[in-house]
Structure 1
């Protein structure tokens, strides 16, 4: 497959060689975006100021916009003859994109952490087919690390100067042995109460969904739980991290055990979402559902 020569009518989910080459191109673009974000984060000579602006769903900076422009420009140049759709946090307009194949992009996941200099930010690039991720890139700029996955081909991590290494989740299989990771800032009272009542061995909190999922595929943590409240996470928060996790042996579903569907018309992912090493996934979301029911009954 030459850049720009792959035609969408010839691509389907059962063409692993084509998807592998698409992943290779996306990896190069991911590293380029990492360089942009790191330059802004460090205020390196030549990088403009952050120019933070508040939006309805959170802040946006010049770094978000610069990385977004770069990723879209590079993808469209690499696949200029391909009829891909593009769903990006920075250019999103409500409504489904009427394409089978859609790139789902978050150029800066964890903008608040980026602004606050916690280092816990990431970038996400995913290619979805009919609402399900097939290619995924998650970059962790401050670790100079990039995770990538292709459907059916496993998950890998690469450092700037090293060869890709295949990764897999932990084998811890009892809830009381598991380490949980949750959002540092996006937690309401219901979620906090539920997490306190679950008998995890350890509890950790950090920014960026991509960062949290990286701790699971690295084997340091085992469970990530998200629960929408007045707002909900978006497609671009989950599409790339989901495939990285599932190809590493984990699971990522709703509390009902259903797969997440992306580009459905509403980018919000409402309800409870469970990501885990998969060893006791069904038990985890059943317990979470039970605890939520008890919490809601108490507060009614």
Structure 2
């Protein structure tokens, strides 16, 4: 089975999970509140995704790393496997609860720590994005329309728009944004929806800083491939590739995702500014 065939199956699973999230959005229970809330929608979509994928992709060969179930499995089960499905059944649970529509569903297949197939669904907007390694990024709607999609060609700091979170911001991030050379800013919930905005040419870059907590593998694995196959770049601030399926699922440090045209300059600016901020 090649990546395109795997992606076709994952797209069907993605649409099924998206429909569950739409149905659940009308009436759901908050199972766990706080900074990392969990709803009945997270659990229902997770159960569906795992059941559908595992019926095709043998758990003896493919490991599964999902936000809702990773704590209940020994890390050794996935660390010894080259193939791992990385799943976030509901990215942006706070936005789901607040009914902003800015939530997403992520499914990625990683091989030796790097994504090779990715699905990001934005159910409230009726769109599903898919990508395969060296196969480009595609966007489709529920009626079956499917088109290839590319990031913008903007390469001037003054023309770029950064997409940022409403809720995941601390003092250090706000200080960075105040001094960052890109001044135009758009606030959107969920990483999946942020990357969708970049590939739809509604924004051009996204920065993530870990503070007391960090984004996890399932936040980034699928969105990364969606962006890079659309012509963008997604790296740590030092421009090294993001690694997945390590013992620690936290992605510590700084991540920069962009349309790729001046990615190095943006990374350098972030490093220099944070160096000054951290001296204070």
1:200 is matched with which residue: 182, 185, 207?
182
- Whether 1:124 and 2:124 are equivalent positions in the alignment is no
Shift of 1:50: 1.8
Shift of 1:275: 0.1
- Whether 1:221 and 2:203 are equivalent positions in the alignment is yes
2:67 is matched with which residue: 81, 85, 89?
89
Shift of 1:82: 6.1
Residue 95 of structure 1 contacts residue 266 of structure 1 at CA under 8 Å; is this kept in 2?
no
In the superposition, the TM-score normalised over structure 1's length comes to 0.89
Which residue of the partner structure matches residue 238 of structure 1? 220
Deviations 1:105-153 (A, max 9, x none): 0000000110111111000000000000000000000011000000000
2:21 is matched with which residue: 33, 37, 58?
37
Q: How does 1:137-216 map to 2 (within 5 A)?
A: 137-216=119-198
In the superposition, the TM-score normalised over structure 2's length comes to 0.96
What is the CA–CA distance in structure 2 between the aligned matches of 1:296 and 1:53, rounded to whole Å? Answer: 34
Which residue of the partner structure matches residue 28 of structure 1? 12
Q: Which runs of 4+ in 1 moved over 4 A?
A: none
Shift of 1:163: 2.3
Which residue of the partner structure matches residue 101 of structure 1? 83
- Whether 1:54 and 2:38 are equivalent positions in the alignment is no
Deviates further, 189-198 or 245-254:
189-198
Shift of 1:78: 1.9
Q: Cα RMSD (Å) of the superposition?
A: 1.3
2:236 is matched with which residue: 248, 254, 272?
254
Deviations 1:244-273 (A, max 9, x none): 000000000001111000001100000010
**Partner SS state of residue 34, structure 1:** helix
Shift of 1:182: 0.9
Which residue of the partner structure matches residue 12 of structure 1? none
What is the CA–CA distance in structure 2 between the aligned matches of 1:118 and 1:239, rounded to whole Å? Answer: 23
Gaps of 5+ in 2: none
**Total equivalences in the alignment:** 276
What is the CA–CA distance in structure 2 between the aligned matches of 1:139 and 1:111, rounded to whole Å? Answer: 14
Shift of 1:83: 1.0
Gaps of 5+ in 1: 2-17, 44-48
Deviations 1:182-201 (A, max 9, x none): 11100101111101111224
- Whether 1:291 and 2:270 are equivalent positions in the alignment is no
2:48 is matched with which residue: 64, 70, 76?
70
1:274 is matched with which residue: 253, 256, 260?
256
What is the CA–CA distance in structure 1 between the aligned matches of 2:21 and 2:275, rounded to whole Å? Answer: 41
Residue 30 of structure 2 contacts residue 37 of structure 2 at CA under 8 Å; is this kept in 1?
no
What is the CA–CA distance in structure 1 between the aligned matches of 2:50 and 2:219, rounded to whole Å? Answer: 17
**Partner SS state of residue 58, structure 1:** coil
Deviations 1:57-84 (A, max 9, x none): 6110110000000000000112248610
**Partner SS state of residue 102, structure 1:** strand
Residue 253 of structure 1 contacts residue 260 of structure 1 at CA under 8 Å; is this kept in 2?
yes
What is the CA–CA distance in structure 1 between the aligned matches of 2:7 and 2:173, rounded to whole Å? Answer: 35
What is the CA–CA distance in structure 2 between the aligned matches of 1:82 and 1:167, rounded to whole Å? Answer: 35
